[in-house]
Amino acid sequence: MKNIKFISAKEAVKIVKSNDRVHLHSVAVTPHPLIEALCERGRNKEFRNVRIQHIHTEGPAPYADPELEGIFQLESFFVGANVRKQTQSGYADYIPVFLQETQRLIREGYLKVNVAMIQVSVPDKFGYASLGTSVDATLAAVEKADTVIAIVNPNVPRAFGDAMIHINEIDLFVEDDCELVTAEPGPISETDRKIGRYVAELVEDGATLQMGIGAIPNAVLSMLGNHKDLGVHSEMFADGILPLVDKGVVNGKNKKTDKGKMVATFLMGSKKLYDFIGDNPGVAMQDVKYTNRVNVIAKNPKVTAINSALQIDITGQVCADSIGTRFYSGVGGQIDFLRGASLSKGGKPIIAMPSVTNKGISKIAPILTPGAGVVSTRANIHWLVTEYGAVNLYGRTLQDRAKLIISISHPDHQEELDKAAFERFGPHFHFVWDENDD
């Protein structure tokens, strides 16, 4: 095991040269000291055309600012809030890709990584450090990068699974004790509670859960306290899961893979969440090629995958990455888990969303807004949930689907949607019978 020699962030980023591609560790462990040092070099015009690559970072993203045009070019796998305006303005760009395949782009050489910038925990006596709260595609970048720069930070939790890497895989070491980026759970609205209640009713005892961060997942989790033997296999989880672990509701007893373990590829939440995964053998932070692989997901029983959408049309096409032509987020892992849940024995793929936007615009539309991307096709959609109910579209005809979807739209918009369906499908639409009409 080699001895660690620490250098400053300014000295470490001198390795970056013009036309390099730099991969940044993501979410809570975004390596801000290295980013700041790199952007200082950029402002001094010490290089040009450095491509920045990451899934989703938290905190400032100065490399995407217009003032550094020509110095940096962001090519993200997901459009986070910190780079959304720059991406929509064309100063940053986006690579559409299933989350599971982000690592493949790196491992198979589609995207050559010259420098990987990461944060790790303090190495143990055997020389192993942990990638902590994010493994995702960063492990692939560590494996393939010409140079790996690591911030050794005591605040990075010592997570197990694929998160463990040996210090021999790291070339340059920087020491820092900055706090990880946190996200405290936000308030849950009455609309969120109604959606959460409908979704919770679909969750069976022994189910394996996949869900993200936000008010709707938290609302769902808050209503599962009387369930039994739930498991977690998800691309991420947040604080909402912790009370269920404390109560013994989440124990993974019914899982077929990683029995008894909670599996994720990244986390975002409070310091309490990060402390929870530290030295916890019950949590496996895994490579995204594993967490989001459809056949791995499908091995577990009753996989209940809860995802959201920006818009859905009356035939079931789901847009989850853009508002018209303006990119808002990304493809992410929605398809990975909708397919995995669909193929799981007793699985339930669910799209859950409010019926209207904060401005009262219906999120259920006759057709998707021109330019909107179809992230999940009609054939991928099973359960759709709004605050007005839950409907199962699987195996239903287009006209059946339209009837069901409109039935859980906001009442203020149902007449307009019904008229659009009539114009689309013809007068027979009003005679389509549903067994629930009796």
Q: Catalytic residue positions?
A: 235
- What letter would DSSP give residue 175? E
Q: What is residue 405's three-state secondary structure? A: helix
The token pair that represents 193 in the structure block: 């509670």
**DSSP sequence for 186-238:** ----HHHHHHHHHHHHHPPTT-EEE--SSHHHHHHHHT-TT--SBEEB-SEE-
Only one residue has tokens 């690592």, namely: 103
Q: Where are the beta strands (DSSP E) in 59-109?
A: 72-76, 93-94
Q: CB neighbours of 379 closer than 8 A, spacing ≥ 6? A: none
Q: Are 199 and 36 in contact (CB under 8 A)?
A: no
- The Cα–Cα gap between 52 and 151 comes to 18
Q: Are 185 and 214 in contact (CB under 8 A)?
A: no
Only one residue has tokens 């989880």, namely: 237
- The Cα–Cα gap between 220 and 239 comes to 12
- The Cα–Cα gap between 326 and 328 comes to 6
Q: What is the number of H-type helices and E-type strands within the chain?
A: 14, 25
Q: For residue 72, which of 138, 11, 19, 109 has the smallest C-alpha distance?
A: 19
- The Cα–Cα gap between 103 and 290 comes to 10
Q: Are 124 and 165 in contact (CB under 8 A)?
A: no
